[in-house]
């Protein structure tokens, strides 16, 4: 005797049979018919029925074993109507031994169900959305067990797969239905670009179906491939030409690399070989794409994965050209504004949508250095990456909130949340407009103290923010980003070119370049680097620079050349002792001497600084200050080392607050020592860009703060409302308290004294 579903072996057998149905042939309707038949038999139920959601919140009987066949496609229930409608409305399973005596039972004479007493039903769910209801019924007063409910839920997942393919009901029809049966869902990922947006979701190009796999005429297929490749290359050239509207920037490098891939003969040759083995052009592209994908799965290096993603993007694009549906035509039916959802995406694919208004981007893959993220930043689109199952849990037409600041996606938020997000977006727009009006206003406190507000930058496109924000210069140019988006180490000419562009675009404003801070988690594919247990405290920054002096020398040479006759500002990251600084400085002197010997122009002057990020340096300040031109505090690292608290660990994000007595005492000491030595002091960690923290820093004596572009407006607003002496007095009062955090007191103070935070 075979065991019924509900036992482990019975469930396994049932799932095996369902899998065969899913993998086998036949229309979606035929498969569903087979599924209900098998489920009824295996679950020893007289009835098994599948109801599928149609537009307008209606559940339609799509298939049944046991009810009258003429009821199929005739019996319809509104969400909330009857027991089945109730299961859809609540999205919860229901099991009743005596269903007919339940007050919600809705009798439908055409079904002939009056003879069945017990009923068990589960929602057919996908991504929190109810796509239908799966029901079994028995004549007897049967008490269904928890195990049986679980089995039916598992079967419902298979049916959901079938329904989600869009073969039963057009997915747009489902997407149009609103309200009941759709659960709000929150997904988390990683922040690739901050910002907030709400709008309808559009799933990035569902995969194309390949209708014919085996080719009849290989030569004709090769010819088709040749045409499609040519058309694709032409379209990419055009795309890049359009992208010039974005100005110069690293996103251009990304696109150029992409163009290079498109022109790669090896890739096209692999596709041609697959055609010669008997495949159609589409199937050949698919085969090469799948091979690439399986190779990609083995690659752990995020940078290399990005390269593979570019190739995958190209394969998709090529298939569209082969199918006669080039990407621009696909986007014709898009809503005017939308949130784009994709498993992964190449930079050029994002550009395809550029004519439309993409309000946000959600990716299942992606890293901060993803090419698509870099291009998205150029467009100022909030992006969240590594959102698991985003493409299966979000459907086209769903309302989605992309909260780039908190790396979360809200799917089908309640009306209440939707309104509050829309209000926040609106308030941000208004606030941004207000900050724009402050662009040329001086950052001077109410008691007349001038504050220098500088920009933190890392890409050429950031430099444009100088005039957009009215910042006085760039206090930190992180040089590593451009290195991370290339295939090979950029040579001196390429580096010179980039730094010169940065300086030219800064139009005379000072730019402080920080030498490479790679290592740790910022690994370059072309630099051999062993995996470390503790990368933040590992072989990184100046440690690599001193161990591999050729790299540092080349960078310094490029900086000197780029400066021309201008003043060159350089700072070294992660210096832990005077000897390291002296060593780095000697390398710079060597390069200055070399430049002079070559007869090239020298910078008008060279200002050399140090990032204070390693606590050991705190006890070497007098000797250090004798040797440097400026000191820049990197609180992101300094605070993580002071508290032994990983800055990237979200579980520790709120564990310590830098607004506490020990940190304030440290800053006081730094201000006093720097002033005594006559060394300009600045702060370029995240703290400087947070209005309340900036308020404290200024009250402690800091006069130069460097921050992300979007922080300039809020900090300037705070500065202009600040009475420095009064806050300094308040800090004298409370600064020594051993509280976990002084923030609540400081916030209250600001509120009571009209300081705009
Ligand atoms: C810092 O550590 O505060 C800093 C500015 O450097 P980064 O964030 O690049 O490590
Ligand atoms: Mg740092």
Given a contact cutoff of 8 angstroms between Cβ atoms, the answer to whether 489 and 527 are in contact is: yes
Ligand 1 close to Cβ of residue 635 (< 6 A): yes
From the CA of 686, the nearest ligand is: 1
Ligand 1 close to Cβ of residue 65 (< 6 A): no
d(CA 250, CA 344): 20
- Please give the order of strands across the beta sheet that includes 383-385: 185-188, 408-411, 399-403, 196-203, 337-342, 357-363, 383-385, 190-193
Give how far Cα 192 sits from Cα of 361, 374, 686, 753, Å. 10, 9, 17, 36
Residue 618: Cβ within 10 Å count: 15
Q: What is the pLDDT of residue 178?
A: 43
Ligand 1 close to Cβ of residue 545 (< 6 A): no
Nearest C-alpha neighbor of 57 from the set 176, 153, 154: 176
Ligand 1 close to Cβ of residue 613 (< 6 A): yes
Q: What is the pLDDT of residue 274?
A: 83
Q: What is the pLDDT of residue 421?
A: 87
Ligand 1 close to Cβ of residue 535 (< 6 A): no
For ligand 1, what atom is nearest to the CA of residue 685?
A: 3
**Helix ranges, 598-656 (H):** 621-627, 635-642
Distance 381 CA to ligand 1 centre (A): 24
Q: What is the pLDDT of residue 600?
A: 96
Ligand 1 close to Cβ of residue 478 (< 6 A): yes
Give how far Cα 139 sits from Cα of 66, 159, 526, Å. 11, 24, 70
Distance 690 CA to ligand 2 centre (A): 17
Residue identifier of the C-alpha nearest atom 3 of ligand 1: 634
Distance 634 CA to ligand 1 centre (A): 5
Given a contact cutoff of 8 angstroms between Cβ atoms, the answer to whether 176 and 53 are in contact is: no
Q: What SS3 state is found at 684?
A: coil
Given a contact cutoff of 8 angstroms between Cβ atoms, the answer to whether 390 and 341 are in contact is: yes
Q: Which residues of the chain are under the pLDDT cut of 50?
A: 1, 178-181, 329-330
Residue that is written with structure tokens 């498993």 in the block:
343
Pocket test for ligand 1, best of 576, 648, 684 (most atoms within 8 A of CB): 684
For ligand 1, what atom is nearest to the CA of residue 478?
A: 9
Q: What SS3 state is found at 319?
A: helix
Q: What is the pLDDT of residue 221?
A: 93
Distance 418 CA to ligand 2 centre (A): 37
Q: What is the pLDDT of residue 552?
A: 97
Q: What is the pLDDT of residue 1?
A: 41
Q: What is the pLDDT of residue 384?
A: 95
Cα 257-262-263 angle, rounded to 5 deg: 95
Distance 634 CA to ligand 2 centre (A): 5
Torsion angle in degrees (nearest 10) through CA of 325, 327, 333, 334: 160
**Average pLDDT in the chain:** 87
**Tokens linked to 162:** 């079938």
Q: What SS3 state is found at 712?
A: helix
Contacts of 153 (CB under 8 A, 6+ apart): 93, 122
Given a contact cutoff of 8 angstroms between Cβ atoms, the answer to whether 560 and 603 are in contact is: yes
- If 0-12 CB within 10 Å is exposed, 13-18 middle and 19+ buried, where does residue 694 land? buried
For ligand 1, what atom is nearest to the CA of residue 684?
A: 5
Q: What is the pLDDT of residue 32?
A: 93
State how beta strands 474-478 and 76-78 pair: unpaired
Residue identifier of the C-alpha nearest atom 1 of ligand 1: 634
Pocket test for ligand 1, best of 614, 685, 707, 708 (most atoms within 8 A of CB): 685
For ligand 1, what atom is nearest to the CA of residue 476?
A: 5
Catalytic residues: 371, 684
Ligand 1 close to Cβ of residue 658 (< 6 A): no
pTM of the model: 0.64
Contacts of 78 (CB under 8 A, 6+ apart): 57, 58, 59, 85
Q: What is the pLDDT of residue 602?
A: 97
Which H helix or E strand runs over 476? strand 474-478
DSSP readout, 84-133?
A: HHHHHHHT--EEESSGGGSTT----GGGTGGG--EEEEEEEEETTEEEEE
Provide the strand spans (E) within 127-269.
129-138, 185-188, 190-193, 196-203
């Amino acid at each position: 005797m075979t065991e019924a579903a509900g036992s482990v072996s019975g469930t396994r057998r049932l799932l095996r049979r369902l899998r065969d149905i899913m993998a086998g042939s036949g229309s979606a309707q035929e498969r569903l018919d087979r599924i209900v038949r098998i489920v009824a038999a295996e679950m020893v139920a007289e009835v098994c029925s599948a109801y599928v959601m149609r537009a307008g919140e209606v559940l339609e009987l799509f298939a049944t074993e046991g009810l009258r066949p003429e009821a199929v496609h005739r019996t319809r229930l509104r969400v909330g109507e009857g027991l089945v409608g109730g299961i859809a409305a609540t999205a919860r399973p229901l099991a009743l031994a005596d269903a007919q005596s339940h007050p919600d039972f809705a009798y439908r004479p055409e079904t002939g169900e009056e003879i069945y007493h017990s009923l068990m039903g589960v929602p057919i769910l996908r991504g929190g959305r109810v796509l239908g209801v799966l029901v079994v019924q028995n004549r007897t007063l049967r008490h269904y067990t928890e195990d049986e409910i679980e089995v039916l839920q598992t079967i419902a997942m298979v049916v959901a797969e079938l329904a989600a393919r869009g073969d039963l009901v057009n997915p747009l029809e489902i997407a149009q239905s609103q309200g009941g049966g759709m659960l709000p869902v929150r997904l988390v990922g990683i922040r690739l670009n901050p910002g907030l947006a709400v709008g309808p979701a559009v799933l990035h190009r569902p995969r194309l179906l390949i209708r014919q796999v085996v080719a009849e005429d290989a030569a004709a297929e090769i010819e088709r491939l040749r045409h499609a490749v040519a058309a694709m290359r032409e379209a990419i050239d055009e795309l890049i030409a359009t992208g010039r509207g974005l100005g110069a920037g690293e996103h251009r490098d990304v696109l150029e690399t992409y163009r290079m891939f498109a022109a790669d003969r090896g890739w096209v040759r692999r596709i041609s070989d697959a055609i010669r083995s008997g495949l159609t052009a589409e199937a050949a592209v698919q085969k090469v794409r799948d091979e690439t994908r399986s190779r990609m799965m083995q690659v752990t290096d995020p940078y290399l994965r990005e390269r593979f993603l570019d190739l995958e993007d190209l394969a998709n694009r090529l298939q569209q050209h082969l199918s006669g549906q080039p990407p621009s035509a696909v986007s014709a039916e898009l809503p005017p504004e939308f949130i784009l959802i994709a498993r992964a995406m190449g930079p050029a694919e994002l550009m395809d949508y550029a004519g439309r208004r993409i309000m946000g981007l959600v990716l299942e893959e992606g890293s901060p250095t993803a090419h698509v993220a870099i291009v998205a930043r150029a467009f100022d689109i909030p992006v969240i990456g590594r959102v698991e199952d985003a493409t299966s849990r979000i459907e086209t037409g769903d309302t989605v909130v992309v909260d780039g600041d908190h790396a979360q996606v809200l799917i089908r938020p309640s009306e209440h949340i939707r309104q509050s997000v829309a209000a926040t977006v609106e308030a941000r727009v208004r606030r941004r407009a207000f900050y724009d009006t402050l662009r040329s206003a001086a950052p001077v406190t109410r008691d007349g103290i001038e504050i220098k507000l500088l920009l933190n930058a890392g890409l050429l496109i950031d430099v444009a923010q100088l005039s957009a924000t009215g910042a006085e210069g760039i206090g930190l140019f992180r040089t590593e980003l451009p290195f991370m988006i290339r295939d090979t180490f950029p040579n001196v000419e390429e580096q010179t070119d980039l730094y010169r562009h940065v300086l030219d675009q800064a139009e005379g404003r000072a730019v402080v370049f920080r030498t490479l801070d790679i290592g740790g988690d910022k690994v370059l594919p072309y630099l051999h680097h062993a995996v470390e247990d503790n990368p933040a405290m590992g072989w990184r920054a100046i440690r690599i620079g001193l161990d591999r002096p050729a790299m540092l020398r080349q960078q310094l040479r490029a900086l000197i050349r780029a400066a021309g006759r201008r003043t060159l500002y350089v700072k070294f990251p992660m210096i832990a002792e005077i000897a390291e600084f002296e060593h780095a400085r000697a390398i710079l002197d060597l390069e200055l001497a070399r430049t002079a010997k070559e007869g090239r122009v020298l910078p008008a002057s060279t200002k050399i600084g140090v990032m204070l990020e390693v606590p050991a340096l705190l006890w070497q300040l007098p000797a250090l200050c004798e040797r440097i031109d400026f000191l820049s505090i990197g609180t992101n690292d300094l605070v993580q080392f002071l508290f032994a608290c990983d800055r990237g660990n979200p579980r520790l994000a709120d564990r310590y607050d830098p607004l506490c007595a020990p940190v304030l005492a440290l800053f006081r000491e730094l201000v006093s020592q720097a002033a005594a030595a006559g060394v300009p002091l600045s702060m370029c960690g995240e703290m400087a860009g947070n209005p309340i923290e900036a308020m404290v820093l200024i009250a402690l004596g800091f006069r130069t703060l460097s921050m992300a572009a979007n922080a300039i407006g809020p900090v300037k607003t705070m500065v202009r409302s600040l009475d420095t002496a009064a806050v300094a007095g308040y800090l004298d009062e409370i600064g020594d308290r051993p509280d976990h955090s002084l923030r609540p007191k400081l916030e209250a103070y600001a509120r009571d004294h009209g300081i705009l935070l």
